[in-house]
Structure 1
Amino acid sequence: MEADKGKVCVTGGTGFVASWLIMRLLQHGYSAHTTVRPGPEHKRDVSFLTSLPGASKKLQIFQADLSIPESFESAIKGCIGVFHVATPVDFENKEPEEVIVKRTIDGTLGILKACLNSKTVKRVVYTSSASTIVFSDKVVDTMDEGFWSNVDYIKSINYFTFGPYMISKTSTEKIALEFAEEHGLDLVTVIPSFIVGPFICPKFPGSVHTSMAMILVASKEKGYSKAFQDKSKMRKEQDYESQDSKKRSLKGIEGYKTPGVSPKKLLDSGFEFKYGLDEMFDEAIQCCKEKGYL
């Protein structure tokens, strides 16, 4: 029997990325701790995690909430590494931007402090987002990890319901890196673009949902088509009512072109891409069909 390589904590265990991480960690001989939000309103089906090979002996599930940073301490205790994946995703604007940003920052700092206090965590991997890079008034074809999105610019382009998410990810990554440098914590941030592909969690992941927006609209996916039409109508009304309607209308037609994101640093580290876009979308579509979303 393969020796246990140690315990690793993955926050936000019911999400797309986190659930795949848990499965891979178990496959590679690690024990895994993961967190899910507590309370009846956040009741999640975790059977897809507990039924993973090796989970009965090597997976522990803890309740934790970013609104209560200290709630992550138990899950992190005794771990040698932490993958911080959990993040508030509210594309329906149920909460004010300030609330989302504060919860994301406070929760992340609480997790980093728990890592320091544990005396066992050797490395933290924080899942950031390409939205922390590409949104600014800089006109370039390609950006890399040396660029930062401008929060004021994101607010100025009124990027529909994605703005609070982009702002929270940008602000949180900056603060997390500053904290890690100040306290000597080994922190690595990963900056993915849209994440798409097959998913093992039962819930339709937001990133896959967004990446497949046109496919879902075309297939008249329940609820999405109406929401898309409502947002388009709202934008047209804003353009009409604006005193500078001609400029707003032209901007709406042209759209915002985001720069490409360079994978050079990733490739230089030895990483190799195994799947192309065709495979990623084909498998995502097949997974959606199997789970009844298409």
Structure 2
Amino acid sequence: MSMSTSYKVCVIGGAGYIGSWLVKQLLEKGYTVHATLRNLDDVTKVSLLKSLPDADARLVLFEADIYNPIEYEHAIEGCEFVFHVATPLQHNENSQYKNITEAAIAGAKSIAECCLKSGTVKRLIYTASVVAASPLKEDGSGFGNVVEETCWTPLSLSFACSNAYRKAYVDSKTLAEREILSYGNQKNGGLEVVTLACGLVGGDALLPFTSSSVAVFISQLTNSATEYQLLRFLEELVGKIPIVHIDDVCDAHIFCMEKPSISGRFLCASSYVSSAEIATYFQQNYPIFQVKPEYLDGPKREIVWGSTKLEEKGFEYKYCTKMILDDCIRCARKRGGTDFQ
């Protein structure tokens, strides 16, 4: 390891799918972790985090909500690194913000300001999404040839397979990432900012239920129309579907913390596949599920995944497409009860 594990780090959104796994990995590596939750009275989430190895000695929980972002100041105080994993998914109608996009931008801004105010935070690492990195052309004439870090989703376009909720999510993730990055572009006393635009995240989970992203992965097996439409939406937005394992995602976050110096935007996905390729894999390897023929036919695009920035810094992905899909099924069988066997 390249740094002292005596460091304190903060995970904003520590009880979610990625956040809880990240807290687990940080504790395993010997860091002291401040983790925020929306509600410390949520027994299930609090118990989950407190049950992690070494949590009793090195995990401190804080109550904070993205809809009242000043609450994060206490959690960030005294930390050297901050991971902003939280994102608003359902709008709080009673808040000062008119929608989740406003809330996400205000949250990003406030968390960055808290980092600067702390006097201790060296680097802010934001869990961004590939929905902000669409290769769609601004004029609506189709896709560019390559997906990489210079791609920004043109928010003026309407997207296939979209609805108001999905459009709001794309807007919020795109504009919040731009807001966070702006703090790294200023002469601001040394705060480095990293954004990791992650693909669809699959694999195992600490959560006692199947996470929404794993449910999207297996939607062609469960025949869930809602989740399958999300899979198709991502495909129509980004050309194909960038995918990544939860282990690799959290390793990438910690990698970006442990580097002596790193900043800027990085896409984080180990594979770039079509929905039809996912369905074909399931059909060939899990015939018990009887994949519907319509899932096996879909758009065949020649777009290339051109992002290598993370690997050029020295990061290595451990999980291939097969391993990600197999682990999604394993996780769903473990979490899903008798209706997914």
Q: What's the TM-score bracket when you normalise by the shorter of the two chains?
A: 0.7 to 0.9
Q: CA deviation at 1:132?
A: 0.6
**Structure 2 unaligned blocks of 5 or more:** 231-296
Of 97-106 and 188-197, the range deviating more from structure 2: 97-106
The answer to whether residue 88 in structure 2 is matched with residue 88 in structure 1 is: yes
Decide whether the 8 Å contact of 1:23 with 1:52 is kept in 2. yes
Tell me, in whole angstroms, the C-alpha distance in 2 between the residues paired with 1:229 and 1:210. 6
- Distance change in 2, residues 1:229/1:287 (3 Å): closer
Tell me what 1:285 maps to: 329
Tell me what 1:202 maps to: 208
Tell me what 2:319 maps to: 275
Tell me what 2:13 maps to: 12
Alignment of 1:130-149 (within 5 A): 130-134=130-134, 136-137=136-137, 139-149=143-153
Tell me, in whole angstroms, the C-alpha distance in 2 between the residues paired with 1:158 and 1:275. 29
Tell me what 1:52 maps to: 52
Alignment of 1:141-220 (within 5 A): 141-153=145-157, 155=158, 157=160, 159-160=162-163, 161-184=165-188, 185-217=191-223
- Distance change in 2, residues 1:213/1:257 (3 Å): farther
Say which structure is richer in strand.
Answer: 2
| AA partner of residue 144 (structure 2) | V
Tell me, in whole angstroms, the C-alpha distance in 2 between the residues paired with 1:127 and 1:230. 23
How many residues of Structure 1 are paired with residues of Structure 2 in the alignment? 259
Tell me what 1:249 maps to: none
Decide whether the 8 Å contact of 2:27 with 2:33 is kept in 1. yes
- Distance change in 2, residues 1:256/1:207 (3 Å): farther
Tell me what 1:265 maps to: 309
Decide whether the 8 Å contact of 1:196 with 1:280 is kept in 2. yes
Tell me what 1:247 maps to: none
**Structure 1 unaligned blocks of 5 or more:** 218-223, 232-252
**With structure 1 as the length reference, what TM-score do the two structures score?**
0.79
- Distance change in 2, residues 1:106/1:43 (3 Å): farther
Q: CA deviation at 1:269?
A: 1.1
How large is the RMSD of aligned CA atoms in angstroms? 2.8
- Distance change in 2, residues 1:229/1:182 (3 Å): closer
- Distance change in 2, residues 1:117/1:256 (3 Å): farther
Tell me what 2:109 maps to: 109
- Distance change in 2, residues 1:86/1:53 (3 Å): same
Tell me, in whole angstroms, the C-alpha distance in 2 between the residues paired with 1:19 and 1:258. 36
For 2:216, what is the secondary structure of its paired residue? helix
**With structure 2 as the length reference, what TM-score do the two structures score?**
0.69
